[in-house]
Structure 1
Amino acid sequence: MDLSTISTLSTRDAARAAVIQTLPLFEMMRMRAATTARRHPTLGFAGSDAASRLRWVNQFTHTHRRLGPEDREVVSPNNDTVYSNAWLDLSGGPVVIATPDMGERYWTLGLLDAWTNPFAYVGRRTTGNRAQRTLVHGPGWRGEVPADITQVIAAPGQDVWLIGRVLVDDTPVDVEHVRSLQLQFSMRRPDGGDAAVRLDTLLDGRVPEAPPAPLYQAIVDQALERNPFPAGERPLWPVSRDLLPQALSSVYEELRQADQPQGLGGGWALPVAVRTHWGDDLLTRARVARNLIGALGIEEAMYPTAEVDADGQVLHGSHAYELRFPPGGGPRVGAFWSLTMYRRSDCLFVANPIDRYSIGDRTPGLRTDADGSLAIRVQASDPGPGFNWLPAPPGEPFYVVLRLYQPQREHLDFHYRYPPLRRL
């Protein structure tokens, strides 16, 4: 979207442009309503009944197991890490996030502002694996930083989404160890007091379609008071109440259908290519907020995605495929990589006889050929012993995601040659 031409737009087009600009803000508030806790461990429920929109913020919630086909809340989830989640409300002052020594393990806490900019990280790549105490504050705070703080993060607004990922091996011992690490994550005030506060989310975060115009306007107006437009971005809001309903309907449908990834060759594309800020690419920012909200920057993780084979044909479980990395030509990563399978119809994992939803450099028993190449069979039926097998859904279209954790320069500069999936 070229903001320099906004003055020449019709009122209808101007309304559409304003929705594209503010949609990430609304969708972040929707996700806050959907993912914050109703109950505090000691203070109890935030609201008096099940219909209450009150939630606790400045409080961690965790998943303690890797997701599988029975989990349907999140589309295209990873099968490598467990998640930790928190929403920060900085209007009452800073919060201090304490994390334990994580050993040698991969982990990250990614911080997104209310406009979906992944503006900061704590974790293996950026701050290391030692025990840490991170102070996060909002705009205008000028208080004293306690002596035991290891780093300070200045947030551009009062609302922040923190998404944590911790690598876990598929063994009971490691699952329990990671659970103990997650339970040591804490969020308190600089004086040591509990940081948790009640917040009225004002909406039902479980409804993913275009919202009613009055609700959209109320949420955006409230969020803007706490999270101003990014620096240098010309505000296009507010919108005429008469034009907003049609603009919402058309933009939400358009963004659901739109797919504008960056082509990588070999049938691979990169749906998200942000680093720390979307800049003036408001349309892509809105598309990602609609379809892939919560995406971190590519310096932390890249997710090249393939929906077609080497001949451009849609990947389908009625066929067998091979993905072959040449000798020395595997993914270049500072942490690890995996290839994950998803059914195309619902973007979820596919149940299979060996309970394998991803395969990668950490998969036990991964075999390389005599010449050093690595071949992965992608098909519904068992190819037999001696093959690296990623099961596909029988008789259904699918897609795969090559997850690259801490991708190296060859990937970040888009020079890496991604091998295609070849139909056998």
Structure 2
Amino acid sequence: MNSKIVPLAHGCDAVVIQTLPLFEMMRMRAATTARRHPVLGFAAPDAASAMRWVNQFTHTHRRLGPEDKEVVSPNNDTVYSNAWLDLSERPVVIESPEMGDRYWTLGLLDAWTNPFAYVGRRTTGNRPQRTLVHGPAWRGVVPVDITQTIAAPGDDVWLIGRHLVEDDGEDAARVRETQAQMRLVRLDGSDAAMRVDTWMDGRDAGTPAADLYLSITSAALRRNPPMAGECQAWPPAAAELEASLPAVYERLRTSNQPHDLGGGWAIPVMVKTHWSDDYLTRARIARNFIGALGVEEAMYPTAEVDARGAPLDGSRRYELRFAPGKGLKVGAFWSLTMYRRSDCLFVANPIHRYSIGDRTPGLHHDADGSLALRLQADDPGPGVNWLPAPKGELFYVVLRLYQPHADHLELRFDYPPIQPI
């Protein structure tokens, strides 16, 4: 096996670490594809069936709030567009309309969790586009009206879209209109939707049984081969796999290997377009942060402790101050989001504010140009940039940097610590 694995895992454990992203992506395919097509109906009449529709967009139309408990550490900036592409038969064309000056992105992840391509503001702009995505076996002719061609490394691709929303009223309605114009079609313009067997119940996020892991990973490998030069020791013996799966899953769940940024800040994901041969980090992210885009699109510095290293506690008051000329550097926007430590969800509060950032109405800068954000449970009064904390509970915060500048990407930015008051 690869040298990145050998010091940390041997034998079947190493095989699980190497292939776990593939299994987890298939689990996500089962969990996030639709049972029902708006025109063609259900993929199967039996509600217990694993048949689903692929090559079909599903969208969210509002930002998530404290009442939403399905996704941990959700963002409060964007709504989502989601689709799984099946490229085994023919290419798929992504049709996207004029987006004005709005931030939006469609990130393409291969079945090994590599964020290998994008469509959107940063990479291809906001004009109307027709993006051709094809699998490794396709050798056809690209039509002249195609604005971008993407060669996928395998037959399965997860398409994750984010659209910036300023409010849950008029602006959300405008986003909904553009989402409705996004289509997945064939080269002849026909609907690309396909029925597929997703093989499993994607709602079960626990450690998989050995026979399920063997069958799904084997099937997925045939459709999504590993990159050239990646050694394979598949399939492992069933008895060894049965012993390795619980141990590896538990280790990946409890391990924490973020990039330390100083000042109590760390960043869990530092991939650009490909994990290369860092199989252990790839597996850890697949288990804990699956669907993460590359850092050139977005970075997520996270803080759980204050300047003294003590856990952030809602019974105390804190300030995060960016000195004059030392503000966050982004090409799109930034936000700071508050979460409870106990469940990794938003904190309900009287002003219904779950994040604060450069687009927050009434954001106040001091006379010298500095920006101070107050993190506490009680209202600090007028003229203060307040992000409400959970009263008497531990919390953590996540900075979201969309289109971060080089200082962030090269880990040269000096993140100020969160100071207790």
**TM-score between both structures, scaled by the size of structure 1:** 0.98
Q: Cα distance, 1:231 vs. partner?
A: 2.2
1:182 partnered with 2:142:
no
1:353-392 equivalences in 2 (<5 Å)? 353-392=350-389
In structure 2, how many angstroms separate the alpha carbons of the residues matched to 1:186 and 1:420? 44
Check whether the contact 2:4–2:277 (CA below 8 A) recurs between aligned residues: no
1:86 correspondence with 2:95: no
Q: Which runs of 5+ in 2 are unaligned?
A: none
* Letter matched to residue 290 of structure 2: I
What does residue 261 of structure 1 align with?
A: 258
Q: Which moved more, 1:234-243 or 1:112-121?
A: 234-243
Q: For residues 139-184 of structure 1, what are the alpha-carbon distances to aligned partners after superposition, in whole Å with 9 as ceiling and x for unaligned? A: 0211011111000000000000000000011151111001001111
Of residues 275-284 and 164-173 in structure 1, the stretch that sits farther from structure 2 once superposed is 164-173
Query: Offset at 1:251?
Result: 0.4
Aligned equivalent of 1:230: 227
Q: Distance in 2 between matches of 1:246 and 1:352?
A: 45
Q: CA deviation at 1:403?
A: 0.2
Percentage of identical aligned residues: 71
2:248 to 248, 251, 266: 251
Distance 1:44 1:5 in 2: 45
* 1:127-138 paired onto structure 2 within 5 Å: 127-138=124-135
CA RMSD between the two structures? 1.3
1:63-212 paired onto structure 2 within 5 Å:
63-212=60-209
> Are positions 1:60 and 2:52 aligned together?
no
Deviation at 1:37, TM superposition (A): 0.4
User: Structure 1: which 4+ aligned runs deviate by more than 2 Å?
Assistant: 1-6
1:282 correspondence with 2:255:
no
Partner Cα distance (2:49, 2:145) in 1? 38
Residues 17 and 236 in structure 1, CA contact (< 8 A), matched pair in contact too: no
Q: Deviations over 1:218-255 (max 9, x none)?
A: 01000000000122211132211111011000000000
The answer (yes or no) to whether the contact 2:5–2:14 under 8 Å persists in 1 is no
Q: Which of 21, 24, 30 matches 1:24?
A: 21
Q: Take 2:373 and 2:124, find their aligned partners in 1: how far apart are those partners?
A: 34
Tell me the alpha carbon deviations over residues 333-364 of structure 1, each in whole angstroms, 9 at most, x when there is no partner.
Answer: 00000000111111111111111000000000
Rounded to whole Å, the distance in 2 between the matches of 1:341 and 1:275 is: 26
Alignment deviations for residues 105-157 of structure 1 (CA, whole Å, 9 cap, x no partner):
10000000000000000000000010000000000211011111000000000
User: Structure 2 CA distance, aligned partners of 1:149 and 1:102?
Assistant: 18
Shift in Å, 1:98: 0.3
Please give the alpha-carbon distance, in whole angstroms, between the structure 1 residues aligned to 2:276 and 2:187: 32
- In the alignment, the residues of structure 2 paired with residue 94 and residue 5 of structure 1 have an alpha-carbon distance, to the nearest angstrom, of 35
Q: SS where residue 16 of structure 2 aligns?
A: helix
Give the conservation status (yes or no) of the 8 Å contact 2:4–2:279.
Answer: no
Once the two structures are superposed, what CA deviation does each residue of 1:354-382 show, in whole Å capped at 9, x if it has no partner? 11000000000000011110000001111
Q: 2:239 is paired with a residue of what secondary structure?
A: coil
Measure the CA separation in 2 of the matches of 1:371 and 1:231: 54
TM-score (norm 2): 0.98
| 2:6 is the alignment partner of 1:3 | no
CA–CA separation in structure 1 for the residues paired with 2:77 and 2:302: 16
Tell me if structure 2 keeps the 8 A contact 1:57–1:198.
yes
SS at match of 2:276: coil
Partner Cα distance (2:265, 2:337) in 1: 14
Which residue identity lines up with residue 3 of structure 1 in the other structure? S
Q: Which runs of 5+ in 1 are unaligned?
A: none
CA distance in 1, matches of 2:166, 2:350: 20
Asked if the contact 1:21–1:236 (Cα under 8 Å) also holds between the matched residues in 2, the reply is: no
CA contact (8 A) 1:3 1:234 kept: no
The separation in 2 between residues aligned to 1:174 and 1:247, in whole angstroms, is: 49
**Partner AA of 1:328 in structure 2:** G
How far is 1:2 from its partner?
4.7
1:294 corresponds to 2:320: no
